[in-house]
Structure 1
């Protein structure tokens, strides 16, 4: 461990003043992680970028303050939370539900980038695709109830009303049936306890039996039969990460959604519901223009 720390210090001494040391870490290593790190290396040739397995990292406080940490999974985030000291840190692809169980307060130099689609973007996507919609149905459970206010505000901003039902037992279809009878569409929340491989068939078939489109909660659900969703692919995550790295850490928000995203949609579902479906590119462009007028 001491050799690793000495190695880090020697590298920093040898680097030019304009070079940044960016350390990626996670509890596992795989080709997808290496591809992500290598892509950032190609984009930022003047920075020292490397992957260090979580088991090989010293305590956060022992890392140089001038380095930047990028954490890629929950175990590496838990490791960072154990020490209030340490270099500026970005934790990627953390879900809102995961973060709700994190101990407070968070380290001052920690910034979280959510893996969830932004409720505001999903609601604006619903408005673009269904301009006449007035009521949005949303299923939630005990763990996701804290997000309801954010979804209500997002619906209100689009001139829509949020209709909610608690779904404590996914074998009980009554909450879903109530929403389908009292809303114009169903918005899927990024909650794997509710929206998963066991519930997807019943959710989608029941919704379309009632001629109600489903927005979200993910690109995989769109492939399964929901109408459309916001998502971020590797390129979007790299673009969002670069924006953070180009800013001084003092300006990093404590949390936020990826600034770059795409739209995916299901043309077959759109046709079956008689919904005119613009191209994914034009939808993403309109959503982005709405955020950056």
Structure 2
């Protein structure tokens, strides 16, 4: 074989190696190089189901889920990525870098955001609230308990910041907010004092006050005083409160679908989902001598009220 033939074969061999290397690089590209990237610290069945549902809903987009521990720092993600964070560790990771991509944060409550951010919301981050909006909860009360006027509200050091907003929403509805600090959940005296001065108790989504350890005392006291508890969330209704508004996975997917149809620059800084449902506890209604909540009808009336200017 001549020198020229050997050179030609060597050149072809190098081309093949380079081509093979390029293919390998493409096949092993980082899993986070996506248009829409969902992440969470825990890679559970619920998270996977949500990611798959969003991907089915948006077949034109490249939607993937990558566990948080497999991601680089936010600023090293592709510039065109749109992030969706599904838990609080994801938000903590995103906050480490001001240069990260536009980000939607799900499953975060007003209280959790206040603890982490105060009033300083970083740029390019939008918070989609997980707790029921206070005005919607108050209007739920007027819809199912029209005679109630004094709204008892237990609060703690972490949830006190919500009281001015509650009063603002209550005034046009002719409701009076009766606040009661409960900084020691082992002491039932504040609870009893509040029950004596209220027509209904509205639960704030404060896990220091409403949790498995306090549920028995709260609910038994509510039954003993024949005083309904509304909220703080759908889970507590199952435990024994009367009713609450809530948004489920389908509602959140509808919100995301609408937002993702628009450029990130137009995303709101904070948002409650406009889609929601009502859940009631028939057994609790019977035990309190209250008419059972018509979940579908009440939700429709609340939604209609929110559409009006």
**What TM-score, normalized to structure 1?**
0.91
* Change in 2 beyond 3 A, CA 1:61/1:182: same
Among 284, 287, 292, the residue aligned to 2:302: 287
Q: Confirm or deny that 1:44 pairs with 2:58.
A: yes
Among 221, 238, 254, the residue aligned to 1:206: 221
What's the counterpart of residue 35 of structure 1? 49
Which structure has the bigger radius of gyration?
Answer: 2
SS at match of 1:229: strand
Identify which range, 113-122 or 252-261, moves more after superposition. 252-261
SS at match of 1:39: helix
Among 150, 172, 180, the residue aligned to 1:135: 150
Deviation digits for residues 19-60 of structure 1, max 9, x if unmatched?
A: xx1000111201111110001111111010001111221221
Q: Confirm or deny that 1:57 pairs with 2:71.
A: yes
Deviation digits for residues 222-281 of structure 1, max 9, x if unmatched?
A: 112111011121111211222221222122121122222111001122122232234211
Q: Confirm or deny that 1:234 pairs with 2:249.
A: yes
Contact 1:9 1:64 (C-alpha < 8 Å) held by counterparts: no
How far 1:10 sits from its partner (Å)?
A: 11
Contact 2:74 2:100 (C-alpha < 8 Å) held by counterparts: yes
Q: What is the rounded CA distance, in whole Å, between the counterparts of 2:129 and 2:182 in structure 1?
A: 23
Q: Confirm or deny that 1:79 pairs with 2:93.
A: yes
* Change in 2 beyond 3 A, CA 1:224/1:259: same
**What TM-score, normalized to structure 2?**
0.86
How far 1:9 sits from its partner (Å)?
A: 11
Among 259, 262, 267, the residue aligned to 1:244: 259
Q: Confirm or deny that 1:7 pairs with 2:32.
A: no
Matches within 5 A, 1:158-237: 158-237=173-252
- Structure 1: gaps (5+ residues): 13-20
Query: How much is the aligned-residue C-alpha RMSD, in angstroms?
Result: 2.0
Contact 2:39 2:68 (C-alpha < 8 Å) held by counterparts: yes
Q: What is the rounded CA distance, in whole Å, between the counterparts of 1:10 and 1:135 in structure 2?
A: 51
- Structure 2: gaps (5+ residues): 1-24
What's the counterpart of residue 19 of structure 2? none
Q: Confirm or deny that 1:89 pairs with 2:103.
A: yes
Aligned residues: 282
Contact 2:151 2:175 (C-alpha < 8 Å) held by counterparts: yes
Contact 2:243 2:293 (C-alpha < 8 Å) held by counterparts: no
Contact 2:32 2:66 (C-alpha < 8 Å) held by counterparts: no
SS at match of 1:264: strand
